[in-house]
Structure 1
Amino acid sequence: MTTAVIAFSGGLDTSFLVPYSREAYGVKRVITCTVNTGGFSPEEAEKIAARSREVGADKHLFVDGSQSYYDEIIQYMIFGNCTRDGYPLCVSSERPVIAKYALDACREEKADMFINGSTGAGNDQYRFDVATQVLGQGKVVGKSPIREFDITRAFSADYLRKHNISVTEKGTTYSYNVGLWGISIGGGETHKSDGLIPEEAWYSHPDPKATEGVLDITFEKGNPVSVNFEEQTTTGAVAIIRRITEIGNKFCIGRNYYLSTTSPGKKGRIAFESPAADILYEAHSRLEAIVMTQSQISGKRAIAEKFGEMLHEAKMYDPYMDDMKALMVSSQRRVTGTARVYLAQGMIKATTVTSPYDLLGVKGAVYGETSTAYTGADAAGSTLIHGFEQRLYYSLEKDKSRSMFIGIQGS
């Protein structure tokens, strides 16, 4: 008997997969598995479970993967302030967590098939297929019916209606991926480079009364350990991210669009909401700026760029990921202190920081003033040595009228 586990969000695509997998693959027992990466409330979890029953699943599993998501992935993205061309990896970063727990469910339920809602156009197909290959080790077959049979959202909606399963109009136009680190919105106007989704298509909506606000975020060795807003303190990394998301949504922080080249070579574009990532990256990077040396900052930036690239492009099981994590952990040993973030509607106005490792306030290091650590003559000698090699090179230049940049011909 064929048993399949379906990665299930309750949206149009994954709802379609339940009845269609029986028809397409002859699946006898269908188990839906929802991995909560932090984006679903208890009420939403119950709605998803009800949806699973409505579409005819034999069993529904709900797994809380939010702490694992933070421990294995998000904390390292905070350490590195990781983005992919400005996009904080809201969706791509959570896929390994969803795949891990869904494949765990395959083993526990003795399922021989893992089904996901990936298309053939984007990067998710790589993330789920690679996870199935690495973690499944040939014992589980991965299937993506939407990719395999070129299924459109219109076809999925019609198919469900013909099977007397309800379909919401909003669900036919846009697809939503909701997680702890943010939300992505695909479909509709995002398919055009100049398209903007309407206000009602955004997942969250700002509070018009939220005009100004201040929150204090405390970090210990790079990890957020508390956030205080309006005299209310929240602790615990996952709870902190949820609280900052709630605050950021009120101020309309984190709305943006992302356009990139996908692994198959196609251009892809989405809208996304990332209030927690935007605020935490701002606070964390400002704290790093006063406690780390410039070599640490620039060196880690290069590592973080590679980390984000490999995570986004389905290379999350490469051992180099662990190597990069180790370096980023080491880089955070002095990233302890508090960042005060000032918010206004639609923007982060400013950020100030305090830390016991503050290099800006060290005696003798006040910027723009004389130093007690060295004399003016010491400074002059330092600049002479700094420019000495360039001076030697330029001394052999025949044409002194050339551009100030030696290798560029003047006009």
Structure 2
Amino acid sequence: MKIKVRTTNADDTKYVVVICQQIEESAKIRRTGIAKRDPEYVKKKITEGHAVIAFCDGILAGFSYIETFQDRQFVANSGLIVFPEFRNKGVAKLIKSEIFQLSRNKFTKSKIFSITTNISVLKMNMDLGFKPVPITVLPKSEDFWKGCRSCTNYDILTRHNRKMCLCSGILYDPSEKKSNKKLLFGYKKLFFGDKKLLFGDKILLAYSGGLDTSYCLKFLTQQGFHVYTAIVNTGGSSEKELIDIEKKAYAIGAKFHRNIEAKDDFYQHCIKYLIFGNILRNHTYPLSVSAERIFQAIKIAEYANEINAKAIAHGSTGAGNDQIRFDLAFQILCPNKIIISPIRDLKLSRKEEMDYLREHGVDILWEKAQYSLNKGLWGTSVGGKETLTSNQNFPEGTYPNSLQEFKPQKIQLTFSKGELIAINGEVTDPVENIVRLERIASRFAIGRDIHVGDTLIGIKGRVGFEASSALIILKAHHLLEKHVLSKWQIYWKEQLGNWYGMLLHEAQYFDPVMRDIEAFFMNSQERVSGIVSVQLHPYRFELIGIESPFDLMQTQKTKYGEENESCSSEEAKGFIKIFGTPMKIYHSINP
């Protein structure tokens, strides 16, 4: 069912009679409320655009309008109805949200109020920021009170000198809710302007269970959308963690949640090439998060197409690279989907997100929420207040693992054509080996560092990380290559590895040149097989050496720094003479 709620126009006056009839009929059934509305008065509200109207699959489903009192000091959201066949489908909540937004747009400084006996309507208003108030604080205007005359409980009101009735008063005071203006009003144009998103539309949210995406989920459901959530596991979540995240998604308001497994794809289409290219961004960072974001975006885009979502949402801010990785992937893989990013669009701080979730009853570990941890197969990134400085390190407890092993430990890593196939002689698939090595090395608190680099939006970024498995594998693989590859293979791999890492970091994964570089990497690994010995220590590791049937050091006749059996003394002198000819010519002319 497609629900559409919009501001009225003159064409909607044709519904006036049936709307007034339904208002009166609803009041009779409730045995309370203002029963009669003047059709001409309602018609005027519709024509002025001071009303909203709801349709379900094109059929009239509900209505509400705005009234003003005491020189617009007060604004009332009145006459809310939902036609019987469309009740209990969320239509009332959507109408209430839209009439509230319309009131705030047209009367920015006015106090907005309602009176009701309906508990559901009372809760809807309170979710929007209304507070229960005594009837005595509502308008004193006779124009307001005369509307109550058609209510069956009018005598109760008059007997108590308009100080008490069965209705409850609820009031929204914009001077007391400045923060809400930013959180609610800021999305008006995005949702209901040229983007054409309608109440009840299906949105797929890339959901991690953290602060940012929890805010997005609560906020979007509060706006009246049907939010589906999905987490893409690129190796950072255990089965228990995935179950907990699913429970949290449903508790906050997700219509449906799905866990998407992607670590094998992530390895086969990305990590494998990061290893082949020995890629460390700025010689430091193994691209733990920037690499996995692309594959999370790919899986989210595929799922969005599968469930026919109208929009995709993500929790990126406007001050980093992830927003570009997500948006670009979505634009390529599902170009017809609307892209929503509440944190970026509303320019929210983490404190504002926390405050909003607290106000809406969402339980978050607030101390932990001060830091942003993104865990994946290729490492864990850490963001927090320290990374906003240039000189502070993270507290010990911020990293995902603590130092538990103090005695050095030697391990052997076996590579076959560039892939890690065994640890200490125990053979299993490369993905499992990455996980196993992480379990071993993380107990030594190996792999911690802080990366500083340039973002795509032109600012410097600083992020902490812990990636013991990734760093050990990259360095061990690089050492093995030094022994088995030629000088120019190593040189050109280094050049292309630098480009591949930069392009991947800068969201260029879909450029065809990436497939070309991957083909070069794959071909270069034909002889990268052997065993690398590594010694683990607290907070560090050292590479001991390699054993390989393709070790070029073991097949050469010349022993470095000692004796040369491949050429005579005279041949060496002749080589040096010819080798130095270009420099000697230059310096003979430019002494």
Q: Does 1:112 align with 2:339?
A: no
Q: 2:418 aligns with which of 207, 215, 222?
A: 222
Matching residue of 1:409: none
State which of 307, 318, 321 in structure 1 corresponds to 2:500: 307
Residue 22 of structure 1: how far off its partner (Å): 2.7
What secondary structure, in the 3-state scheme, does the structure 2 residue paired with 1:183 have?
Answer: strand
- Per the alignment, residue 588 of structure 2 pairs with 395
The letter for the 2-side match of 1:191 is L
Secondary structure of 2:554's match?
A: coil
Q: Does 1:156 align with 2:353?
A: yes
**1:289 aligned onto 2:488:** no
Q: Give the TM-score taking structure 1 as reference length.
A: 0.93
Q: 2:262 & 2:543 partners in 1: Cα distance?
A: 33
Query: What is the correspondence of 1:272-351 to structure 2 with a 5 Å cutoff?
Result: 272-351=465-544
Residues 1:257 and 2:454 are matched in the alignment: no
Q: Residue 287 of structure 2: SS of its match in structure 1?
A: coil
Alignment partner of 1:92 out of 268, 278, 290: 290
Partner of 2:320: 122
1:64-102 deviation per Cα after TM superposition (whole angstroms, max 9, x unaligned): 100000000000000001121011101000011101111
> 376, 393, 396: which one pairs with 1:196?
393
What letter is aligned with 2:414?
T
Change (3 A) 1:332 1:320: same
Say whether 1:141 aligns with 2:338: yes
Tell me if structure 2 keeps the 8 A contact 1:33–1:63: yes
Cα distance in 1, alignment partners of residues 361 and 590 from structure 2: 82
Say which SS state the counterpart of residue 236 (structure 2) adopts.
coil
| Contact 2:234/2:376 (8 A) holds in 1 | yes
SS of alignment partner, residue 146 of structure 1: helix
1:129-181 CA-to-partner distances (Å, cap 9, x unmatched) read: 10011111x22111111000111111111111111110112333101111000
Work out which of the residue numbers 39, 53, 65 in structure 1 matches 2:262: 65
Matches of 1:91 and 1:183, distance apart in 2: 7
Q: 2:215 maps to which residue? A: 16
Kept after mapping to 1: 8 A contact 2:476/2:543: no
2:378 and 2:469 in contact (8 A); partners too: yes
Larger radius of gyration: 2
TM score, norm. by length of structure 2: 0.65
Is the partner of 2:367 in helix, strand or coil? helix
CA distance in structure 2 between the partners assigned to 1:129 and 1:289 by the alignment: 39
Deviation at 1:366, TM superposition (A): 2.3
2:522 alignment partner, SS class? helix
Tell me which residue corresponds to 1:169: 366
Structure 2 residue corresponding to 1:56, chosen from 233, 248, 253:
253
Q: Is 2:569 aligned against 1:371?
A: no
Is 2:274 the counterpart of 1:80?
A: no
Question: Which consecutive aligned stretches of 4+ in structure 1 deviate over 4 angstroms post-superposition?
Answer: none
Note the C-alpha offset of 1:234: 5.0
Which whole-Å CA distance do the structure 2 matches of 1:396 and 1:189 have between them? 57
Distance 2:255 2:385 in 1: 33
Gaps of 5+ in 2: 3-200
Q: Give the corresponding residue for 2:464.
A: 271
CA distance in 2, matches of 1:167, 1:336: 48
Q: CA deviation at 1:61?
A: 0.4
Are the aligned partners of 1:257 and 1:270 in contact in 2 as well (CA < 8 Å)? yes
Conserved in 1, the CA contact under 8 Å of 2:354 and 2:366? Answer: no
1:378 shift after superposition: 1.4
How many residue pairs were aligned?
391
Shift of 1:318: 0.5
- Cα deviation, residue 363, structure 1: 4.3
What's the CA shift string for 1:212-235, capped at 9, x where partnerless? 11111111111111112xxx7251
> 2:221 and 2:370 mapped to 1: Cα distance?
25
Once residues 257 and 559 of structure 2 are traced to their aligned partners in structure 1, the CA distance between those partners, rounded to angstroms, is 61
Give the AA of the match of 2:435: R
Corresponding residue to 2:579 among 386, 394, 399:
386
Question: What amino acid is aligned across from residue 321 of structure 1 in structure 2?
Answer: M
Q: 1:10 deviation in Å? A: 0.6
8 Å CA contact 2:317, 2:343 repeated in 1 = yes
How much has 1:355 moved relative to structure 2?
0.7
Percent sequence identity is 36
Q: Which of 1 and 2 has higher RCO (CA within 8 Å, sep 6+)?
A: 1
Q: Distance in 1 between matches of 2:558 and 2:505?
A: 40
1:211 aligns with 2:395: no
Letter in 1 for 2:321: N
* Structure 1 residue ranges without an equivalent (≥5): 399-411
- For residues 194 and 307 of structure 1, the distance between their equivalents in structure 2, rounded to whole angstroms, comes to 30
**In 2, Cα distance between equivalents of 1:15 and 1:211:** 42
Q: Quick one: distance in 1 between partners of 2:384 and 2:475?
A: 29
Aligned AA for 2:382? I
- In structure 2, the residue matched to 1:31 is 228
